[in-house]
Amino acid sequence: MKDTLRSLTWTGKALRLLDQTLLPEQLVYWDCTESRQVADAIRILAVRGAPAIGVAAAYACVLALREAQKGGGDWAAISSRFHDACTYIDQARPTAVNLSWAVRQMRDVFAASAPEMAEENLLARAQAIEEEDRATCRRIGENGAALFAGRTGLNLLTHCNTGALATAGIGTAFGVFVTLAERGQIRCVYADETRPLLQGARLTATELMEDSIPCCLIADTMSAAVMRDRRIDAVIVGADRIAANGDTANKIGTYSLAVLAAYHHIPFYIAAPFSTFDFTIQSGKDIVIEERDADEVRRFGGVYTAPRRVPVYNPAFDVTPAELIRGIITERGVLTPPFADSISQYERSLSNE
Ligand code: MRU
């Protein structure tokens, strides 16, 4: 991955974000010195992808404390301003659990810190979250690649963007592609364009080309034909929230792919780190699905492609039922059905650290 395609960089004074809404045509970076700027960047998808949102939110909390301290007053006043800013960050987007997971950690670190240590401790935790994500992506890549040991000429299909732009590392599902490509096992990664905002076309296709991974971009409407005609070996996608029973929220269109994969007897895998699991919810019914602005569907690149006032339904995510998922590739191995058991074992292994 080229360094220019890093989704975020902490500069010491600011969180530098690559504005992903302008890719692939323009490389524009924003230096966010205020927590609200980061939260708003998350809201408009300048930074997006569940793990990257979590890392960005953690750094936003560091900025939030700096702002709260500048406002003066006693520690109670600073603390109250810090928590208000954390709430604003937390509410930027509802579906990717990595966001609230990161903000909760930062609030906990704040609560456990003496005032003179709070900023240093928050920064250390944000950096640890970023570093951990980088290492986690590598392990997901290894564990996913192990599923295809000894095989070459693989045709894989993916949706949305799960690469370096969506994480702090090589990516989740994309990390599996990178690892397999390093071992010469890939014939082609087919990338869905991912309507309405084209994360597949604008971001995944860019990353595949940058990493010289053999690839082919397709419109979302082509997936069924590609599965039937191009001998797809597996579908691998990312996740925004995984419930305790394995039901998984990911970019809208993922559910259709899972149904199509089942029809064509193609294994369907999710790749995700521990920060994407929501062990507190029993099933996908409890996942809040973000609905976004109607104009995202009515127009693209500022040009209307539909009547300006046509009613629109624009859920940003859908939930794939666990029964359609062959395995969940994590940093600790591949979880398999029954997911209620494998996920609870996974949760126990995390809490035993
Ligand atoms: O709306 P987005 O672009 O943030 O949606 C991103 C996705 O759905 C990704 O597939 C998911 O976050 C996994 S990122 C490794």
Q: What is the mean pLDDT of the chain?
A: 97
Model confidence pLDDT, tens digit, residues 224-252: 999 999 999 999 999 999 999 999 999 99
Atom of ligand 1 nearest to the CA of 197: 3
Give percent of the chain above pLDDT 90. 97
Residue 2 scores a pLDDT above 70: no
Using CA atoms, how far residue 216 sits from 189, 193, 259, in Å, is: 6, 10, 22
The pLDDT-based confidence of 27 (bands split at 50, 70, 90) is: very high
Domains 3-135 and 138-351 share a fold: no
The pLDDT, as a whole number, for residue 352 is 81
Ligand 1 centroid distance, CA of 48 (Å): 6
> Does the beta carbon of 200 sit less than 6 angstroms from any atom of ligand 1?
no
Query: Does the CB atom of residue 284 touch ligand 1 within 6 A?
Result: no
**How far, in Å, are 134, 179, 205, 240, 324 from residue 141 at the CA level?**
11, 6, 18, 18, 22
pLDDT of 301 over the 90 cut = no
Contacts of 255 (CB under 8 A, 6+ apart): 318, 319, 320, 324
Q: Which pTM does this prediction carry?
A: 0.97
Rounded-to-integer distance, Cα 103 and Cα 83, Å: 10
160 lines ligand 1 (CB under 6 A): yes
Residue 96 confidence (pLDDT) above 80? yes
If you average pLDDT over residues 130-158, what whole number do you get?
98
Residues 301-309: what's their mean pLDDT? Answer: 95
Domain spans of the chain, in order of start:
3-135, 138-351
Q: Is the distance from CB of 210 to CB of 175 less than 8 angstroms?
A: no
pLDDT in tens, 76-93: 999 999 999 999 999 999
Residue 3 pLDDT exceeds 80: no
Nearest atom in ligand 1 to 50's CA:
12
| DSSP assigned state of 201 | I
Q: What is the pLDDT of residues 6-22, one digit of tens each?
A: 999 999 999 999 999 99
**End-to-end CA distance of the chain, in Å?**
31
Q: Which CATH fold would you assign to the domain 138-351?
A: Rossmann fold (3.40.50)
**Ligand 1: which of 160, 287, 290, 318 to mutate, most ligand atoms within 8 Å of CB?**
160
Contacts of 169 (CB under 8 A, 6+ apart): 133, 134, 135, 136, 137, 138, 175
> How is domain 3-135 classified at the architecture level of CATH?
Up-down Bundle (1.20)
